Amino acid sequence: MTTLADAFDPLSAAYLNDPQAAVQPLLADSPVFFHEALNSFVVTRHEDVRAVLTDFETFSSGAYKALEPSVEALATIPDEHKRVAQLVIGGGILLNLDPPVHTRERKAAQKAFTRPRVNQASDNIAAKADALIDGFADRGSVDLMQDFAYQLTLAVVGDMLGLPSEHLPRFHAWIGEVFGLMSPIDAKPGTSARSDADIVDAYTRMYSAYEFFSEFVADRRENPGDDLTSAMLKLTDEQGEPLLSNDAVLAHMVSITAAGTDTTANLIGNTVRYLTERPALLEELKADETLWEKVVEESLRRAGIGLHLFRYTTRDTEIRGVPIPARSMVLLNIAAANSDPLVFPDPLAYDIHRPNLSEHLAFGSGRHFCIGSPLARPEARLALQTLYRRLPGLKADLEEKQEYLPALTVRAMLNQTVTW
């Protein structure tokens, strides 16, 4: 007999269409369970997910590696390509680091990623949004994700990092490769739904992009500008030595861009869908623009881009009476935690007046709280306000089939037609 836990399929179209609706039976029936196909213990309750996120001594963040094709195909990938993939995915970005390395790297990045720098970036968001809208305002219809959301968020983060505009599409594509190749550390070669050829090609693209952007970072170290990349490269320790290596700076660029682009772009796309379904709420927002901040928080809770996080147990433990041995993979279901009815009553409702909006875990919790969140929130709010100011009557095509990036960790929307 197939149980609810057996039927859990995080890459299925039904699940990606609305993960929170899909996990409601699990929250009641199987809040913690072992999933054979993922070789992971899945944790769904908000209380338990938050507890795991804050206990790095038991649940290590070093739980990821680069996805591997079959043994035969893996042998065809050059060693340097494998090294770069593991450097970026397994040991580079903050998401995958534990203290004390994580503490040092994050503290260093935060010295450069300051509030004044975020405020400076925020000041230009509405103007950039207006410029993009000028290009299609007379068309009456557009792909919101490809023609606006991703372009806007890339431009904002690109300016902050000092990346030339012509390099932005390639950098964004590279980030897609990073998250598309992110795999649990104990996944066996050849067990992915992706073809060997696709995975091998992804390694090649990742290495090519790494070489290209490594040259950019090296040039910035020699010829610094007034941008976040240069600011990170200028950081020094007490002996005057560089605090961050070129590879570390490049990894931080990936983390900040992922938070400032895909997270924000999906916030924009999902919020337009929710407001299309709720014209009365849109009228409420027109009457009181201060409510836009609550809209952003509820969209983060209801449809945040981060679906799952993996952790790796360092010792025997248990959650809700379920024993979890040392060296086990644990999948934290963020979508489930953010729709836990014990924390968010009527969890599938889109309600900006919830008294506990800020309790969602869309940006993580504890040491791994998203470093890019101070930019993502105002960026989404200003983009949405500009869209509805410039395009009265904006509506999402709710019948359109949504396409998503095929990845375990994120639910990145790739298309959304809108009309006005």
Least confident piece of the model among 92-96, 165-169, 331-335, 367-371:
92-96
If pLDDT is split at 50, 70 and 90, which confidence band does 91 have? low
> What pLDDT is stored for residue 4 in this prediction?
67
> What pLDDT is stored for residue 92 in this prediction?
61
> What pLDDT is stored for residue 405 in this prediction?
78
> What pLDDT is stored for residue 329 in this prediction?
93
What are the tokens at 148? 């606006």
Residue of higher predicted confidence among 377 and 3: 377
DSSP string, 109-171: HHHHS-HHHHHHHHHTHHHHHHHHHHTTTTTSEEEHIIIIIHHHHHHHHHHHHT--GGGHHHH
| Helix intervals (H) in 262-351 | 264-277, 279-287, 292-303, 334-337
Instruction: Flag whether pLDDT at 396 surpasses 90.
Output: yes
Instruction: Flag whether pLDDT at 1 surpasses 50.
Output: no
> What pLDDT is stored for residue 362 in this prediction?
93
If pLDDT is split at 50, 70 and 90, which confidence band does 162 have? very high
> What pLDDT is stored for residue 339 in this prediction?
98
Give tens-digit pLDDT for 17-71: 999 999 999 998 899 999 988 889 999 999 999 999 999 999 998 888 888 889 9
Average of per-residue pLDDT values in the chain:
90
| pTM exceeds cut of 0.85 | yes
What is the DSSP pairing of strand 32-35 with strand 59-60?
unpaired
Residue 265 forms beta bridges with which residues? Answer: none
If pLDDT is split at 50, 70 and 90, which confidence band does 3 have? low
- CA 354, 356, 362, 363 dihedral sign is positive
Contact between 25 and 339 (Cβ < 8 Å) = no
Instruction: Flag whether pLDDT at 215 surpasses 60.
Output: yes
> What pLDDT is stored for residue 127 in this prediction?
93
Give tens-digit pLDDT for 314-368: 999 999 999 999 999 999 999 999 999 999 999 999 999 999 999 999 998 877 7
Residue of higher predicted confidence among 20 and 85: 20
Tell me what the mean pLDDT of segment 148-154 comes to. 94
Distance set, CA 69 to CA 139, 194, 210 (Å)? 44, 8, 20
DSSP 3-state of 403: coil
Instruction: Flag whether pLDDT at 97 surpasses 80.
Output: no
